[in-house]
Amino acid sequence: MIFKGSVEDSPLFLHRGILLDTGRNFMPVETLRKIIDSMAMVKMNVLHWHITDDQSFPFVSTTYPELSDKGAYHPQICTYDEIEVTDLLEFARLRGVRIIPEFDTPAHTLSWGKAYPDLLTKCYEGSDPTGQLGPLNPANDSTFDFLKNLFTEVTSRFHDNYIHLGGNEINVACWNSNPEIVEFMQKMGFSGKTSQLVNYYTSKVVETVKSIGDPKAAITPILYQEVLDHGYQGDENTVIHVWKTSDWKGYTKKATKKKFNVIVSGDWNLNDLGDENDWMKYYRQNIIDFGGSVQDASLVIGGEATMWSTRVDETNVITLAWPRGAAVAERLWSRSPETNEKFSQRLGELRCRMLYNNIEAHPVNGPGFCPV
């Protein structure tokens, strides 16, 4: 029994998170609560909530209720209503966890089109529509009016200074095929360069978000790394999220050279279950070791493990996340990693503690047992 002691401890990074995707496979609120509880155990403090995607729109908007009425897998069973979101935010706050919402645009928005098809771009083959819809239509001012109304509601609901706006995997071929957008690009002097259109959309949606609320407490937008591929310059207050595993060092260096703050995911992909002891690759990743200067490295504000739900739902998300996610948590908290052997032992002990707290963490170190 310890009667007296002192602990000196502080995090290496302020942003220590997990990206959780509920747009591809819906996850009940109780599952989200369990994720938050387990994050608190390992000192993670940000749940990046990728709420919507092409497949579904589970967020119940009071401004545009038809988004979930028509875009969710089920309008009652597979949605998050206002009370549930408010309760979840308070549940997270009491555990030291912020929830940053993500509404990925202009791509990954097919679920939006179930209720509002005119928001999306009609794809063409020659002079004929194909019947398929693509990204949000940047040629219509009404698109940005819609986004401002929706994001005004979202930011007032979540009360966070950050919002993730996506910006990845845009089907520019659909934009290039659409006569209305081609005409708009000519009118804007874009010379047929889709990157200029991507930049136009990105800058416009960032301006839209920053115009919401008190100018003295402006909302900080987060964008995926692909915006850099299109030459995005933008507001230096924008945060770039380097989410891909390939060339994460190059993208981090590129973003910091442009003076953007950066969140790195890189190889921290929890939905990819690898070989036994695959947590070692998470533990080895040092997100400030990307070849930049000391000043560049200071712009890395933290990192996130990603949990994309293409093949993940409430039946396996906990076992995929834990205790492997603790390797990410430690790299975001502690400057000096231990040897694999020492950390492996502590990881096994953490798994047992999680099991005692009804968190179904899977065995990561091969054969063994947790003493009762």
Does 367 reside within a domain? no
- Cross-strand bridge partners of residue 15: 302
Confidence band, pLDDT 50/70/90 cuts, at residue 337: low
Separation between Cα atoms, residue 272 and residue 279, nearest integer Å = 11
Which residue carries 């999306």 as its tokens? 120
How confident is the model over 333-337, as a mean pLDDT?
81
- Global confidence as pTM: 0.96
Separation between Cα atoms, residue 21 and residue 166, nearest integer Å = 12
Does 242 reside within a domain? yes
pLDDT at 12 over 90: yes
Does 307 reside within a domain? yes
Q: Report the pLDDT value the prediction gives residue 218, as an integer from 0 to 100.
A: 85
How confident is the model over 317-334, as a mean pLDDT?
96
Instruction: Please tell me the least confidently modeled range out of 7-16, 32-41, 242-251, 290-299.
Output: 7-16
Whether 46 and 97 have beta carbons less than 8 Å apart is answered as yes
Confidence band, pLDDT 50/70/90 cuts, at residue 338: low
DSSP designation for 47: E
Does 363 reside within a domain? no
**pLDDT one-digit tens code per residue, 292-315:** 999 999 999 999 999 999 999 999
Residue 281 belongs to what H/E stretch?
helix 279-284
Q: Report the pLDDT value the prediction gives residue 372, as an integer from 0 to 100.
A: 65
Q: Report the pLDDT value the prediction gives residue 285, as an integer from 0 to 100.
A: 93
**pLDDT one-digit tens code per residue, 31-88:** 999 999 999 999 999 999 999 999 999 999 999 999 999 999 999 999 999 999 999 9
**pLDDT one-digit tens code per residue, 195-205:** 999 999 999 99
How confident is the model over 274-279, as a mean pLDDT?
77
Q: Which two tokens stand for residue 351?
A: 């798994």
Does 9 reside within a domain? no
Does 38 reside within a domain? yes
Does 371 reside within a domain? no
**Share above pLDDT 90 across residues of the chain, in percent, rounded to a whole number:** 86
Confidence band, pLDDT 50/70/90 cuts, at residue 341: confident
20: CATH: 3.20.20.80
Confidence band, pLDDT 50/70/90 cuts, at residue 4: confident
Residue 239 belongs to what H/E stretch?
strand 239-242
| Domain that residue 303 falls in | 15-345
Does 370 reside within a domain? no
pLDDT at 8 over 80: no
Distances (CA, A) of 230 to 165, 193, 221: 16, 10, 17
The question of whether 226 is a catalytic residue gets the answer: no
More confident of the two residues 160 and 339: 160
Q: Which of 82, 169, 236, 276 is catalytic?
A: 169
Mean pLDDT in the chain?
Answer: 94
Instruction: Please tell me the least confidently modeled range out of 54-58, 207-211, 303-307, 339-343.
Output: 339-343
Per the structure, how many domains does the chain have? 1
Separation between Cα atoms, residue 243 and residue 263, nearest integer Å = 8
How confident is the model over 114-142, as a mean pLDDT?
97
pLDDT at 234 over 90: no
Q: Report the pLDDT value the prediction gives residue 236, as an integer from 0 to 100.
A: 82
